[in-house]
Amino acid sequence: MTPKEHELMMNFLELLMNYLKSNALKDNALLDYQDYESLEKKFDASIGKKGVAEDELLSSVQTYMQYCVRTSHPQFIGTLRGGYNVASLVGEFLADITNTSMSTYEGSPVATLIENKLIKKMTELVGFDDGDGIFVSGGTQANLIAVLSARNTLDPNIKKMGLRQQHDLVLFISDQAHYSYVSAANVLGLGVQNIIRVKSDELGRMDTEALEFAIQTAIREDKTPLFIGATAGTTVLGAFDPIEDIASIASKYNLWLHIDGAFGGSALLSNLYKPLLAGSELADSFSWDAHKMMGVPVPCSVILTRNSGVLFDTCTTTDAKETPSYVYHNVGTESYDLGEKSLQGTRKADVLKLWFSWKYYGDEGYENQLNHVVELAQYAEQKIKMAPCLEMVFPRQFVNLCFSYKPKVGGDADQLNIRVQQQLMQNGQGYINYTQVKGRTVLMLNVVNPLVDEEDIDYLLNRVIEIGQEQDEIAIF
C-alpha cells in the first residue's frame, strides 16, 4: 500500500465511523430523498478517461452516504431487514479484505471450517439430525435450490437428460407465499403455470383441505405433484403455515416438503417462538435468511436439507470426467470443497458476518433480540388499536403489522395511505411500506431491528397520524 493509499483508507475509515455513529441518531433524517433527475445532478456517476484524486473519491463517498437510505436508522421499519451490529461488520469487512472464495478448502480453509460448523448448528435448530446446507445468495436462491433438489430427487436423470421424460411437475404454495417460486419454476423449466397457489385462511395460513384437494386435482389431470412450499413467516402478514398438517399430506402423496423460513426461520432462536415452527424437522429442506432478523448485512442466507448428500447430488457441477481440475483437485474422493454442492462458482464468505455476530451475542443474545422485537411489535399493535384514526387491518401474528390510516370522511382510503407512506419517506421521517393484501391496501411495519425502542414506535405512528391528517384535509378541500 502506498502512503497515499494508506491515507485514503484512514480517511475512509473515519468517514465510515462517523456515518455509523450518525446513522443511529434519532434526530438525523433517515433519507435525503431526491428524484432520479435531481440525484443525477448531485452525484457524479460518470467514469472519465482519467482517474480522480483521492480527495474526489472521498467526496463521492460522502455524497453517496448523504443520499443513501439509512437502513440502520431507528425509523427504518418497513422492510424485513434493518439495523446493524458491529460484530457482523467485523465479519463482513474481514471477508472483504481477505477476499477468499468458498469453492475449495485450499482456497478458504478457515471459512470452510466455520461454514460447516454454522450449517450444523442451523440444521440442528431446524431439527435435522443428519442435515446439510450451504450459504447462498439470498432466500430466492435458497427456494430455487429447494425446488431443484425436489426435481432431481424425483428423477435423477433430469440432470443429465433434461426434462424430456417428465411433464407438468407441479408445485403447491399458498396464495401468500413469496414470489421467488415464480423464478424457480421459470429457471428450472417447470413452467410458471405449474405453480398452484393454494388459498389461505383469514390470517394468511395455507388451508390444508384446499391443499389436498389441489393435489388430487393435479393427479386427476395426469400431472405429477412434486413439491409443497410451506412458509414460516409470510412476507406481508407474518403467517406461519401449519407445518405438521402439511407434512402429513406431503408424506401421504410422497411430495417434497420445503419450508420457506427466509423470514420466520429466526423464530427458532427463541424458546418462546419456536413452537410457531413445530414440525420443521419433518421437512426435506429449509430456507433461512440471517439478513432479515439477525442484524447482519445482506446477503446472508442458507438452504438446509434434512438428508446430507442431497445438495451434492443435485447441485454439483463437478463430475469426475468433466470437472475443471484447475479448481477441484479431489473430485470423486472425500473432500471439504464446499463448491461441489453449490450453484455458485466464486462465492464470498458470507458466513463470516453471521459467525462473528453469533459468536459475540451467543444463543442467549439472539434469543433476547428476537423476544425484544416481538414485544415491540406487540407494543406497536396496542398503540395502533388505541389510536382512533388508525386501524389494525389484520391481526398481528409475528413482527409484521398491517394497518391503515382511516380517513375522516369516506375518501379514498387506499390512495390516502399510499400518500402517507410516500410523504413519510420523502420527508426523511420514516421508512415503512405499503401493499395490497386480501383485497385491502395496508401500511406495513416490520419490527425486526433490535435497536428500535418504544419511543421510536411512538414517533413513527405519530408521524403517520400527522401526515394522514394533513393528507385527509388536502383530499377534502
Ligand X SMILES: Cc1ncc(COP(=O)(O)O)c(C=O)c1O
Estimate to the nearest angstrom the gap between the alpha carbon of 178 and the chain centroid: 10
Please list every residue from 251 through 290 that binds ligand X, using CB under 6 A: 260, 262-263, 289
Considering only CA atoms, which of 322, 326, 323, 281 is closest in space to residue 304?
A: 281
Q: Which is nearer to ligand X, 169 or 300 (CB)?
A: 300
Binding segment toward ligand X, per CB under 6 A, in 42-50, 62-70, 136-144, 352-360: 136-144
Residue with cell 398491517: 402
Q: How far is the CB of 57 from ligand X (least distance, A)?
A: 31
Cβ atoms of 407 and 470 closer than 8 Å: no
Q: How far is the CB of 331 from ligand X (least distance, A)?
A: 30
Q: Which is nearer to ligand X, 132 or 260 (CB)?
A: 260
Binding segment toward ligand X, per CB under 6 A, in 27-35, 135-143, 343-351, 355-363: 135-143
Q: How far is the CB of 156 from ligand X (least distance, A)?
A: 27
Query: Which of residues 23, 140, 342, 400 is near ligand X by CB under 6 A?
Result: 140
DSSP string, 423-458: HHHHTTS-B-EEEEETTEEEEEEE---TT--HHHHH
Cell of 448: 425486526
Peptide bond connecting 299 to the previous residue in cis, omega within 30 degrees of 0: yes
Q: How far is the CB of 231 from ligand X (least distance, A)?
A: 5
Query: Which of residues 133, 138, 265, 450 is near ligand X by CB under 6 A?
Result: 138
In this structure, what are the phi and psi dihedrals at residue 290, rounded to the nearest 5 degrees? Answer: -70, -20
Query: Which of residues 23, 235, 318, 400 is near ligand X by CB under 6 A?
Result: 235
By CB under 6 A, is residue 231 in contact with ligand X? yes
Q: Which is nearer to ligand X, 143 or 280 (CB)?
A: 143
Site string for ligand X, 58-97 (x = CB under 6 A): ----------------------x-----------------
Cβ atoms of 102 and 135 closer than 8 Å: yes
Which residue of the chain is nearest ligand X when measured via CB? 139
For residue 288, list its beta bridge partners.
261, 302
Q: Which is nearer to ligand X, 138 or 225 (CB)?
A: 138
Q: How far is the CB of 411 from ligand X (least distance, A)?
A: 31
In the chain, the amino acid numbered 243 is I
Q: Which is nearer to ligand X, 105 or 288 (CB)?
A: 288
Please list every residue from 159 through 198 that binds ligand X, using CB under 6 A: 178, 180
Query: Which of residues 104, 108, 194, 301 is near ligand X by CB under 6 A?
Result: 301
- Binders of ligand X: how many residues, by CB under 6 A? 14
Q: Which is nearer to ligand X, 218 or 445 (CB)?
A: 445
Q: Which is nearer to ligand X, 141 or 429 (CB)?
A: 141
Cell of 364: 442467549
Considering only CA atoms, which of 428, 395, 468, 349 is closest in space to residue 105?
A: 349
Q: Which is nearer to ligand X, 318 or 446 (CB)?
A: 446
DSSP string, 384-405: HHH-TTEEE-S--SSSEEEEEE
Cell of 3: 502512503
Q: Which is nearer to ligand X, 8 or 293 (CB)?
A: 293
Site string for ligand X, 330-369 (x = CB under 6 A): ----------------------------------------
Q: Which is nearer to ligand X, 105 or 398 (CB)?
A: 398
Euclidean distance between CA atoms 474 and 476, whole angstroms: 5
Q: In what order do the strands lie in the sheet with 400-405?
A: 390-392, 400-405, 440-446, 433-437
Residue with cell 484447475: 326
Euclidean distance between CA atoms 334 and 373, whole angstroms: 43
Question: Maximum distance among all alpha carbons in the chain?
Answer: 76
Which residues in 393-412 are b (16+ Cβ under 10 Å) and which e? Answer: bbebbbbbbbbbbbbeeeee
Q: How far is the CB of 144 from ligand X (least distance, A)?
A: 10
Q: Which residues bind ligand X (CB under 6 A)?
A: 80, 138-140, 143, 178, 180, 231, 235, 260, 262-263, 289, 301
